[in-house]
Amino acid sequence: MTLTTAIGRPCATGRHSRPAAAPAAALLGFFVITLDALVVNVALPDIRADLGGGMTGLQWVVDGYTLMFAALLLSAGSVSDRIGARAAFGLGLTVFILSSAACAPAPTLPVLIAARLVQGAGAAAMMPSSLALIREAYTDPIRRGRAVAVWAVGGAVASAAGPVVGGAATLASWRLIFIINLPVGVVALALLARTARSPHRPVPFDVIGQITAVVAMGALTFAAIEAGDAGFGAPVVQAAGAVAVVSLVVFLIVQARGAHPMVPLGLLRSRTLVVCAGAGFAFMAAFYGMVFLFSLYLQTERGLTPLQTGLAFVPMTVLSAFLNPLAARAAERFGPRIPIAGGMFLMTGGLILLATVPAGTPVWLLALLMLPVGLGGPLSMPPATALLVNSVPAHQAGTAGGVFNTSRQLGGALAVAVFGALIADRASFLPGLRTGLLIAAVIAGTAGLAAMALRPPRPPVPSLRGSADTRQVTIHKTGERP
């Protein structure tokens, strides 16, 4: 098998392709994408001990990956359509493998952060193309739905295993957490070589929109992280904030006036999209922010080993992995509004409890108090995703999904940036941790209140695709305000 074959060239004949290979490759890709978002957290103290650097450096180790993932997701779907899902997935997976191989032997913290940035770019290319591979492999909606459910298992297993795998690997060396990706990635490439060539079409690419999106998100994250060391009044922090604002304004102007915008601003008139994207942002800010804070707290303040820290997250992550089917049934019975709002409120309650318990609370009790935070996401995210997809016209489903997933990743990146700034001073670690958890609780509670205003969508009008009239009719049919 050559690399060219894996990432784009078709197999010699169509009969050599295997339909089951596509979902298997997609599952493995989703597994490593999700794993790398969590596995690093419990290794952060060891990384600091080995490579040096303060809290700012550790924040960038986590956020370098999440930030590039979030920023490039907006246009990754267009790239997948342009060059074909098989080529896009293979290219992203190859970049991910090579950057993982660069992370493992990183001699300095800046080298590790740079490799993590490239990892995030590879993950962004893989995410939309993995689902496109499944869509191409199965024409029957029932079989396709089952394949998507199996694909989702990859993320659920990675979420459950991430902290434990990271803790176990760190007992030998934190570098092993990146080496794990190599055999998984090679197997995924081998499976990809057995899939049929994907169709592609000339999709416009919004270059200015993509650049301004990356600059805006990067500058905002940089400002939040640097504020922990230099303070919000520092010139470098204020300059980064100004760059973020200017870039955001340019991005919005380009999206409003451009011929082929990444994010048509008309989509933002949809209450459903805004509320679902807000719920995704809140979930990631609360969940990933909490994991980041407690990974450091349990090791630096409570003296736990990396493995013990990973095991403290097991009750939450394992139960979360099994809750998705129950969430789907709850949405079928009660509609999407109840599980989405209920999940957000459950997270809110858990975060408040964690923020207010005494400092000497036993670790086993902290692990139990994490359960509401972990369970709120699986309860709310599947119905939020389904509601979002069902509430927009078919030709805008990919764009809406990109906005949703970008808001999720941005929530995780900003949580690590802001919460890390709060605990940057060792003397104020515990007050900063409590403040971070309460901020996350406010965000989750606000998303829960907003979800109470959701209305179930009605089927969109299938005709007059792409016209302004169709978008108006669809908005009214789904109960949205224009």
Question: pLDDT by residue (tens digit) across 439-463?
Answer: 999 999 999 999 888 765 554 444 4
For residue 132, give both structure tokens.
Answer: 């496109």
pLDDT of residue 156: 73
Architecture of the domain spanning 264-482: Up-down Bundle (1.20)
Average pLDDT over residues 277-297: 89
pLDDT of residue 225: 82
Alpha-carbon Rg for the chain, nearest whole angstrom, is 22
Find the helix or strand (DSSP H, E) in which 82 lies. Answer: helix 55-83
Number of CB atoms found within 10 A of residue 183's CB: 10
Average pLDDT over residues 332-348: 85
By C-alpha distance, which of 307, 206, 325 is closest to 258? 206
Residue pointed to by tokens 């990444």: 262
CA distance 248 to 96: 28
CA dist 169 → 70, 85, 311 (Å):
27, 33, 13
Q: What is the pTM of this model?
A: 0.77
Summarised one tens digit per residue, pLDDT across range 397-438 is 667 777 888 888 888 888 888 888 888 776 778 888 999 999
Residue 39: phi and psi, rounded to 5, are -65, -25
pLDDT of residue 1: 39
The answer to which of 124-128, 227-231, 377-381 has the lowest mean pLDDT is: 227-231
CA distance 391 to 477: 9
pLDDT of residue 368: 92
For residue 340, give both structure tokens.
Answer: 């989405």
pLDDT of residue 289 exceeding 80: yes
CA distance 153 to 425: 39
pLDDT of residue 113 exceeding 80: yes
User: Model confidence at 472, in pLDDT bands (50, 70, 90)?
Assistant: very low
pLDDT of residue 438: 94
Summarised one tens digit per residue, pLDDT across range 359-400 is 888 999 999 999 998 888 878 887 887 777 677 665 566 677
CB 281 within 8 A of CB 141: no
Number of CB atoms found within 10 A of residue 59's CB: 27
CA distance 2 to 189: 10
Helix (H, G, I), strand (E, B) or coil at 346: helix
The answer to which of 12-21, 22-31, 68-77 has the lowest mean pLDDT is: 12-21
Helix, strand, coil distribution of the chain in percent, nearest 5: 80, 0, 20
CA dist 13 → 83, 200, 388 (Å):
20, 18, 38
Handedness of CA 472, 475, 478, 480 (dihedral sign): negative
What does the mean pLDDT of the chain come to?
A: 79
Helix (H, G, I), strand (E, B) or coil at 358: coil
Task: For the domain made up of 1-195, give the CATH fold.
Answer: Growth Hormone; Chain: A; (1.20.1250)
